[in-house]
Amino acid sequence: MAYVVPTEFVTKMVDAGESKLLMSTRDTLIRAYMAGAILALAAAFAITVSVNTGNPLVGALLFPVGFILLYLMGFDLLTGVFTLVPLAVLDKRPGATWGGCLRNWTLVFFGNFAGAMTVAVFMAIIFTFGFSEAPNAVGVKIGSIGEGRTVGYAAHGAAGMLTLFIRGVLCNWMVSTGVVAAMMSTSVSGKAIGMWMPIMVFFYMGFEHSIVNMFLFPSGLMLGGKFTIMDYLIWNEIPTVVGNLVGGLTFVGLTLYSTHYKTAPKRVLS
């Protein structure tokens, strides 16, 4: 695995953020849609593995395949653009503005959501034989996850909200570390190893990932989880998105940017 030194890959992070800002609306939406869909499929796969083996570690060990796949195909998750795009604005790349950053986040959010929803519907059809039967074991499990992670938090009030937020922060700390780790290597195997570790950590620890949740909760609702859409939005999705934003930006983007990029002398010659 060819290792790229930090000063090099941090400029790569800023370049990546800049290129996402420059992407056309159509491309941004399609790539975000595909990313959401692939990640949702991987989540469904990991939960199926967990339920069938009875061991959540096996599911966590295998979940990163989805993330690796979508990263290698160049698709974008909201968690990743939270970390990368602001760096281009902070670095004052030509034309990079906070408005453009928000535009990108919004497009990626809706793209991810549509992709995850598509898979949620597909999987619900599979789990219930086209809504003709009661959901199978995996379906029941997804329904109960949805319940525990909305109504469960709500039961604790403000403390629940804080926990949810911190879980969101931790999640994107890990996930964005995965994105960055992928830039540390130039080979596919190196990228895959780099991404595997943090993604596995986040999935096993049950941290809140805004896109995985875009699949889990709508599925849960379709499979008879006992919570409402408003429960999902207020007691999960919105705090998770904010937590993901804070986690990715502060713990990954800004730390690397300020220590490895800003400390380097300004360019005098190309």
Partner 1 sequence: MGAALRLALGQHSEAGSKPLNQDFHGAALPTDAQRRSRGIALAIADGISSSPVSQVASAAAVRGFLEDYYGTSEAWTVRRAAQCVLAATNGWLHAQTQRGDGRFDKDRGHVCTFSALVFKGREVHLLHVGDTRAYRVHPTALEQLSHDHRVRLDGGQTYLGRALGLGPHLEIDHACWPTEVGETYLLATDGAYEHLDPLLVINTLARHGNDLQAAAQALVAAALARGSQDNATVMLARVESLPDQLSPPVRRERLRLPPRLAPRMEFEGYRVIRELYASARSQVVLAVDAQDREWALKLPSTDMGSDPKALDRFATEEWVARRVDSPHVIKAAPAEKRREHLFTAMEFITGQTLAQWMTDHPKPGLDEVRQLVDQIARGLQALHRKEMLHQDLRPENLMIDRQGTVILIDLASAHVAGLNEGLGDARATDIAGSLQYTAPEYFTGDGGTPVSELFSLAVLAYQMLTGELPYGLQVPQVRGPRDLHKLQYVPLRTRRPDLPEWLDRVLRKALHPQPARRQQALSEFAHDLYAPGPEFMSRDRTPLQQRHPLLFWRVLTLGFGLSTLVLLGLRVTGH
Single residue of 53, 55, 106, 187 touching partner 1 by CB under 8 A: 187
Count of H-run helices and E-run strands, the chain = 14, 0
12 binds partner 1 (CB under 8 A): yes
If the CB atoms of residues 52 and 186 are measured against partner 1, the closer one turns out to be: 186
25 binds partner 1 (CB under 8 A): yes
If the CB atoms of residues 22 and 254 are measured against partner 1, the closer one turns out to be: 22
265 binds partner 1 (CB under 8 A): yes
Longest dimension (CA), the chain: 68
Q: How far is the CB of 186 from partner 1 (least distance, A)?
A: 5
| Tokens standing for residue 142 | 């997804």
Single residue of 5, 54, 157, 263 touching partner 1 by CB under 8 A: 5
255 binds partner 1 (CB under 8 A): no
Choose one: 21-29, 72-80, 141-149, 153-161; the region binding partner 1 (CB under 8 A): 21-29
Write b or e for each residue in 197-224: b if 16 or more Cβ atoms lie within 10 A of its Cβ, otherwise e. ebbbbbbbeebbbbbbbbbbbbbbbbbb
- Unique residue bearing structure tokens 């002398």: 265
Q: Which DSSP helix (H) or strand (E) runs through 163?
A: helix 158-183
Q: How far is the CB of 183 from partner 1 (least distance, A)?
A: 8
Per-position x/- string for 68-107, each x denoting binding to partner 1 as judged by CB under 8 A, each - no binding: -------------------------xxx----x-------
Choose one: 10-18, 73-81, 147-155, 199-207; the region binding partner 1 (CB under 8 A): 10-18
If the CB atoms of residues 19 and 255 are measured against partner 1, the closer one turns out to be: 19
24 binds partner 1 (CB under 8 A): yes
Closest to 16 (Cα-Cα) out of 63, 62, 80, 97: 80
Which contacts qualify for 183-191: CB closer than 8 Å, 24 or more apart? 183/4, 183/9, 183/12, 183/13, 183/16, 184/3, 184/4, 184/9, 185/1, 185/2, 185/3, 185/4, 186/2, 186/4, 187/1, 187/2, 188/72, 189/1, 190/1, 190/2, 190/3, 191/68, 191/71, 191/72
Using CB under 8 A as the criterion, which residues of the chain lie in contact with partner 1 when the complex forms? 2-5, 7-9, 11-12, 15, 19, 21-27, 93-95, 100, 186-187, 264-270
